[in-house]
Amino acid sequence: MPSLGMMTINALVSSDTVLIPVQAAYLPVKGLQQLIKTISMVKKRLNRKLTIQGILLTMVDFRTNYAKDIAFRVRHTYGSQIKIFESVIPLSVKVAEASAEGKSIYQHCLSGKVAFAYEKLTEEVLGYEE
């Protein structure tokens, strides 16, 4: 389940939008419902300007039927209410390596699939705001 403590509430109260990253796995997707309820409560009681910019699927391994099923379920369950980004962040050992080295993915593997995915996400987010 996501951490929904005071830090999360304060971050939501001080934000205009929230982008929700969710790992393509059962438990993170299960926690998504609680997070959306919390965002709705914050919007209703503390920050009327708060909107959900979209849901970003992360750590996706489309080689597996499991990841494909999770992606389908997220799109099917939430897609009519919340934007689901077309960009997805793939599962890659390069991310773990970059983290272990204390580097960004761009410093560690600029030409890798994760760096490319984040570039696509950036373009999508900026295009969405226009």
| pLDDT string in tens for the chain (130-residue length) | 455 688 889 999 999 999 999 999 998 988 899 899 999 999 999 999 999 999 999 999 989 999 999 999 999 999 999 999 999 999 999 988 998 999 999 999 989 999 999 999 999 999 866 5
Residue 35 buriedness (CB in 10 A; 0-12 / 13-18 / 19+): buried
Q: 85 with 116: CB under 8 angstroms?
A: no
Q: Based on DSSP, count helices (H) and strands (E) in the chain, helices before strands.
A: 6, 2
What is the model's pTM? 0.87
Which pLDDT does position 3 carry in this prediction?
Answer: 58
Element (H, E) at 111: none
